[in-house]
Amino acid sequence: MVQIMTLTDIAERLNQDYGPQSKKGKKAEKAEKLPAAFFITDHTAVPDPEKIIARLSKKCGVIFRDYDHLERKQLGQQLSRACRDRGLIFLVAGDVELAQSLTADGVHLPEGKMAQAKDIHTAHPHWIITAACHSLSALKQAEGLPLDAALIAPVFPTLSHPETLSGASTTLGITGVQDMVAATDLPLYALGGITKENAGQLIGSGIVGLAAIRGFEGEETP
C-alpha cells in the first residue's frame, strides 16, 4: 500500500534537500534555525488554530496573523502559549510591540513593511525575521535586508486571493518559484494554495519549506 505524504512530510523533504547539500552555502547556513513549514493563522479561514497547532510537527512554526481579530492580543497569548508548550517557533505578523509582549521568536513583515527589518534586527538581533514577497523586484529589496527568509506568494490559486481562482490574477507557478530561487540566496517558503495534493510539485525547486493557512487542516501529524 502506497503511503500518501502529508503536507508536513513534503515540507520536511524540501527542508532536508535544502541543507548541507545546497549548492549555495549561505542558504544552508541561514536556514539552520528555520522550520520546515509555517502554519499561518486566519480565524476566518481556520476558526480553531489551537487544534492545528496541537497536531503540528516539532519541525513546524506558526505565524500569528489575524490582523483584524477583535481580541488579537488575547488570541495571541493563547497561541503563543500553545506554541511554547509544544516547542514550536512563534512569529507575530506586522506588530513588533505585540511580538515583544508575547515573547515571540520574531516577526513576519508584510511586503510593504519589510524595510522595518533593519531597525527590528538592531533592536532584537536574535529574532527570526521573515517577509512576504510577491515579485522579483520585492525579492531584490528583501535581499538587502537582515531577513532570515521570505514567503513568496501566491504559488497556486488560493481562496485567500479569489482573483487567482478566476484567472483574473496570475500565480507564480512552479516556473515562477524556480526563477525566484535562482535570483536569491535568501531562503524561500512557498505560500498560496499549498496542499498535500500539489506541494509535491515543489520538490527539487530549491525552496526551504512551505507555508499554508488551510493546508494543515485534517492532517494527522504525530
Question: CA 16, CA 39: separation in Å to the nearest integer?
Answer: 19
101-146 residue pLDDT tens: 999 999 999 999 999 999 999 999 999 999 999 999 999 999 999 9
Residue 220 has a pLDDT of 61
Angle at 209 between CA 204 and CA 214, to 5 degrees: 120
Which structural domain, as residue segments, surrounds residue 69? 7-212
Would residue 187 count as lying in a domain?
A: yes
Instruction: Please give the mean pLDDT across all residues of the chain.
Output: 90
Low-confidence ranges of the chain (pLDDT < 50): 1-2, 20-23, 222
Name the E strands within 13-122.
37-40, 60-64, 89-93, 106-109
Would residue 222 count as lying in a domain?
A: no
Q: Give the CATH number, domain containing residue 129.
A: 3.20.20.70
Strand partners, 131: 109, 150
Would residue 218 count as lying in a domain?
A: no
> Which of the 8 DSSP states describes residue 147?
-
Q: Which residue has the cell 532584537?
A: 124
Residue 163 has a pLDDT of 76
Taking Cα atoms as reference points, which of 219, 113, 208 lies closest to residue 152?
A: 208
How many domains in the chain?
Answer: 1
Provide the sign of the torsion angle of the four alpha carbons 73, 57, 147, 40, taken in this order.
negative
